[in-house]
Amino acid sequence: MDDAQNSSVENQDLGQLPVWNLDDLYPGKDSAELKRDLADASEKARNFEADHAGRLANLSGDQLGSAIETYEEVQEMLGRIMSYAQLVYAADMADGENRRFYQSMQEQATDISSHLLFFELELNRLAESQLQSMLESSERLARYAPWLRDLRAYQPYQLSDDVERTLHEKHVTGRAAWTRLFDETFADLRFDLDGKALTSTEILDKLSSPDRALRERAARAFAAGLKANERSFALITNTLAKDKQIEDQWRGFARPVSSRNLANFVEDEVVDALVSAVTESFPRLSHRYYAMKAKWLGLDKLAFWDRNAPLPENDERIIPWEEAQDTVLNAYAAFSDDLAKVGERFFEQDWIDAPARHGKAPGAFAHPTVPAAHPYLLLNYQGHVRDVMTLAHELGHGVHQVLAGPQGPLMADTPLTLAETASVFGEMLTFRSLLASTQDPAKRKAMLASKVEDMLNTVVRQIAFHNFETRVHDRRREGELSQQDLADIWMETQREALGPAFDLDEDYRIYWSYIPHFIHTPFYVYAYAFGDCLVNSLYAVYQQADEGFADKYLDMLRAGGTKRHRELLAPFGLDASDPTFWQKGLSVIEGMIDELESLDGQSAAQ
């Protein structure tokens, strides 16, 4: 399918599934518009360097504000180019031309941006007193105060200009190349199940089948495919961990997670408190829930392919796309018409690519692109309830990105910890709407259990992933980790999280290797738990709030990256630095498990 074609795919069970139209970025890989923007960005970047390198300290406040505006303009041009390249690549990673195009755009963007690199480095060398004086003298510059605040946070970790340039220019042949190797290796994998060659998306979907024998065959086939590439995955993981260790040591980060915390503008101690609170809650949450699930399924022990098994009462019908769209938008509208109206644009204007197909990136994401355009959503929609929840989740990201867009390219992006707020809140709105419309007690129990599992996957599983990453990166400092070492750490952290209800066999030892966040964005995963616990607390406020809550919520989304978590949560009376904050969020999950235990007891008494 041509990357610019406006189309949809007819599926017998799912209806018309939308395929995104990338014309709003560029009409094609060879388009005159793309070539023009590459040339313009290159010329503007070189002129910007010639005009400003070594001269920032001599500028007035208005002149520096003007310089930042030009810098922002070039960054947006590069952002549009790379967003387009990434989306074309994600739509079909198996296509050799798409691979070459993506690599070519990365190389050209890196070359162009190398002429901009001096700007942030030189800004960080300005004396604080001089910068403050400039900010006070110029409204034009003061608009960028939040961006400058965040940029200056990196000041203690900044290296010499030559080293920074070397790291920047070699990124495309270093970390980016190893990441691309992982992505393309994984996209090319096919898993043999009952004589059919399935993609990762297709075979992972079988792990939620009500047929236990099918789940086991799928789980073992997935393990076999991963094991065939275990050496490559271990090499990629070791190389990227060592690469991170070297750069962290050069910059002076005390711990492997510290650079991610800085990027998220969240204090180390806040993340430590989250991780400790969730880890200590494992027995009260996941261990207790999975013991109940084993009983519901009539099993003494759960196998790893039973983790996402549906309950007997689950709604296993296939949900057509149009119904999924209505379900999510109606849930959004019940909270805020304004929120739903932004969401409607994604469906009306072909901003979503929904069908699962060979070569397409697995999973789901919302790509913000650039404020001058709009976000795009990638899904692999297969009609299950969890796919509806994924749509609600990614649409939340997309709506957030649209609302934050007016902040501009430099300030629209939100740290990962807060980027999950709108997505998880959208999921919660959709779940509560579905639950309220379900009267049958057995189906309500199944829905509640499904939601608990989603929350455990978002909180417990992601913190288990975080613990795995922490131990891997700590151990990597002592030397290269063997395939056995990686598997041992994986099993250790998974047993801690899942508890005694599970019997994890040898085939599960390879499952560490398919988690893309470990490769793409080290220590990303705790942001999911951060967002879920935050939203649990936020939703509790909403349930008790007056009519002004929705307006405050939308204002929070519109702020983009201009405010830190403390400022954003203050209007709701929440503070993530409060040691008791995480317990509030976890207590919501615990309360749902309590309710399930109560329903279980009532059923047994009848």
- Single-letter amino acid, residue 107: E
Average pLDDT for residues 273-278, to the nearest whole number?
95
Residues 138 and 210 in one domain: no
Does the structure show a pLDDT above 60 at 64?
yes
Rounded to an integer, what distance in angstroms lies between the CA atom of residue 494 and that of residue 497?
Answer: 5
Q: Which residues of 529-558 are buried (b: 16+ CB within 10 A; e: fewer)?
A: bbbbbbbbbbbbbbeeeeeebeeebbebbb
Rounded to an integer, what distance in angstroms lies between the CA atom of residue 63 and that of residue 82?
Answer: 29
Structure tokens at 66: 């003007």
Average pLDDT for residues 177-181, to the nearest whole number?
95
> Residue written as tokens 């549906």?
310
* Residue 587 forms part of a structural domain: no
Residues 127 and 157 in one domain: yes
Q: Which of 199, 228, 257 is the last residue of a domain?
A: 228
Say what the pLDDT of residue 601 is. Answer: 67
Structure tokens at 540: 């509790």
Residues 169 and 195 in one domain: no
Residues 148 and 203 in one domain: no
* Residue 84 forms part of a structural domain: yes
Rounded to an integer, what distance in angstroms lies between the CA atom of residue 519 and that of residue 176?
Answer: 10
Structure tokens at 137: 């003298």
Residues 135 and 213 in one domain: no
Rounded to an integer, what distance in angstroms lies between the CA atom of residue 329 and that of residue 324?
Answer: 9
Say what the pLDDT of residue 578 is. Answer: 85
209 lies in which domain range? 190-228
Say what the pLDDT of residue 4 is. Answer: 41
Say what the pLDDT of residue 418 is. Answer: 87
CA distances 151 to 244, 251, 263, 467, Å, are: 20, 15, 10, 29
Which CATH number do you get for residue 147? 1.20.140.70
Residue, of 436 and 67, whose pLDDT is higher: 67
Structure tokens at 107: 């190389």
Q: How confident is the model at residue 1 (pLDDT cuts 50, 70, 90)?
A: very low
Residues 19 and 161 in one domain: yes
Rounded to an integer, what distance in angstroms lies between the CA atom of residue 30 and that of residue 348?
Answer: 27
- Collapse the DSSP code of 19 into the 3-class scheme (helix H, G, I; strand E, B; otherwise coil) and give the result: strand
Q: Which of 130, 145, 173 is the last residue of a domain?
A: 173
pTM to 2 decimals?
0.85
Q: How confident is the model at residue 342 (pLDDT cuts 50, 70, 90)?
A: very high
* Residue 261 forms part of a structural domain: no
* Residue 179 forms part of a structural domain: no
The kind and range of the H/E element at 411 are none
DSSP class of residue 10 equals: E
* Residue 503 forms part of a structural domain: no
Does the structure show a pLDDT above 60 at 606?
no
Average pLDDT for residues 569-593, to the nearest whole number?
91
Residues 23 and 108 in one domain: yes
Residues 75 and 216 in one domain: no
Residues 164 and 61 in one domain: yes
Beta-carbon contacts of 317 under 8 Å, excluding residues fewer than 6 positions away, are none
Write the pLDDT tens digit of every residue in 111-160.
999 999 999 999 999 999 999 999 999 999 999 999 999 999 999 999 99
Rounded to an integer, what distance in angstroms lies between the CA atom of residue 547 and that of residue 529?
Answer: 28
The kind and range of the H/E element at 377 are strand 376-381
Structure tokens at 463: 């913190």
Poorest-pLDDT segment among 95-109, 170-184, 587-601? 587-601
- Per-residue HEC secondary structure of 514-577 comes to HCHHHHHCCCCCHHHHHHHHHHHHHHHHHHHCCCCHHHHHHHHHHCCCCCCHHHHHHHHCCCCC
Q: Where are the alpha helices (DSSP H) in 24-127?
A: 32-52, 61-91, 96-113, 117-123
Say what the pLDDT of residue 11 is. Answer: 77
Q: How confident is the model at residue 23 (pLDDT cuts 50, 70, 90)?
A: very high
- Collapse the DSSP code of 202 into the 3-class scheme (helix H, G, I; strand E, B; otherwise coil) and give the result: helix
Cβ–Cβ under 8 Å, residues 567 and 457: no
Cβ–Cβ under 8 Å, residues 209 and 222: no
* Residue 209 forms part of a structural domain: yes
Question: Over the chain, what is the mean pLDDT?
Answer: 94
Does the structure show a pLDDT above 80 at 192?
yes
* Residue 291 forms part of a structural domain: no
Does the structure show a pLDDT above 70 at 498?
yes
- Per-residue HEC secondary structure of 117-152 comes to HHHHHHHCCCCHHHHHHHHHHCHHHHCCHHHHHHHH
Residues 123 and 216 in one domain: no
Residues 65 and 211 in one domain: no
CA atoms within 13 A on the CB side of 297: 25
Residues 21 and 128 in one domain: yes
CA distances 394 to 167, 347, 378, 502, Å, are: 32, 13, 8, 31
Structure tokens at 98: 């798409």
- The number of folded domains in the chain is 2
Does the structure show a pLDDT above 80 at 9?
no
> Residue written as tokens 């204007």?
349
* Residue 563 forms part of a structural domain: no
